[in-house]
Chains A and B, each alone.
Chain A
Amino acid sequence: AQRVTQPEKLLSVFKGAPVELKCNYSYSGSPELFWYVQYSRQRLQLLLRHISRESIKGFTADLNKGETSFHLKKPFAQEEDSAMYYCALPGGRGANSKLTFGKGITLSVRP
C-alpha cells in the first residue's frame, strides 16, 4: 500500500536559515510526488511536483529512489514561507487513483 511519512510536525527556524522538510514514501512502482502548501487561512495549493524539476519560491525537491525520499529544501528561509506543507503521492492511473497525503509539517520562520 502506498504511504507517505512526514516525520516531523513542526520546524521552527530563523529568517535566513536553511530549511529541509522531510518526506519519505512507500510505493511499488515509479512514483510521482508533490508538495502542497497551505498558508494561514488559505486553501491548499501546489508548490511543486518532482517531474517538473523546477524551483518555486526558492524551494526545490529531489526524488531519491534509493532512500525513497522527496525532501523539500530552501537555502534561505523567509518569513512568508511560514505555512503548513504537505507531501503527496498519487496512486497512479486507472482504478487505483487515490491520493495519499502525509500528515503535514508546520514551518515557522521567525524574524
Chain B
Amino acid sequence: EAQVTQNPRYLITVTGKKLTVTCSQNMNHEYMSWYRQDPGLGLRQIYYSMNVEVTDKGDVPEGYKVSRKEKRNFPLILESPSPNQTSLYFCASSWGTSGETQYFGPGTRLLVL
C-alpha cells in the first residue's frame, strides 16, 4: 500500500532531550517536507527536500534539523526541544515539487514539558 508513515505517533519528552521523528514513504517521491499544525496558525512548513541531499528551510525552521540521506526517509530532528515546539507534526511527500499533490503522514503529536 502506498503511504507515508511517521514514528512515533505520540511523544512526551522534557526540555533539552534530543529526539527524532522518522518519516518514510514508499512511493519513490522526490519531494518531502515537514509541517507543524497549531491551533489558530494552521499548517506551517518547517523544512522541505527536493531530493537526496537537497534540503531547504520552510517558514519556521528554527530549532529543527533534517537530513535526506535516502530518498524514502526524511527524519525531523529536535536537538534541544523546548515547550514552544509542542505541536502536531506532519510529514508529506509528492512527485517532483510542492506543485504536485501532497501525501501526508498520520501525524506525530509531541508534548515538550
Identify the A interface with B (CB < 8 A).
Answer: 6, 9, 32, 34, 36, 43-46, 49, 86, 88, 90-95, 97-104
Band of interface residues on B: 20 to 34
A94 to B97, CA, bound (A): 8
A interface SS class: loop
The 9 closest A-B pairs by CB, nearest first: A103-B42, A99-B98, A90-B98, A90-B99, A101-B43, A44-B104, A104-B42, A43-B104, A97-B98
Q: Which residues of B contact A (CB under 8 A)?
A: 31, 33, 35, 40-45, 48, 50, 56, 58-59, 90, 92, 96-99, 101-102, 104-107
Tell me if B98 and A103 are in contact (CB < 8 A). no
Q: Contacts A43-B90, A44-B104, A98-B58 hold; do A93 and B43 have CB atoms under 8 A apart?
A: no
Given contacts A44-B90, A44-B104, A46-B101, contact A101 B42 (CB under 8 A): yes
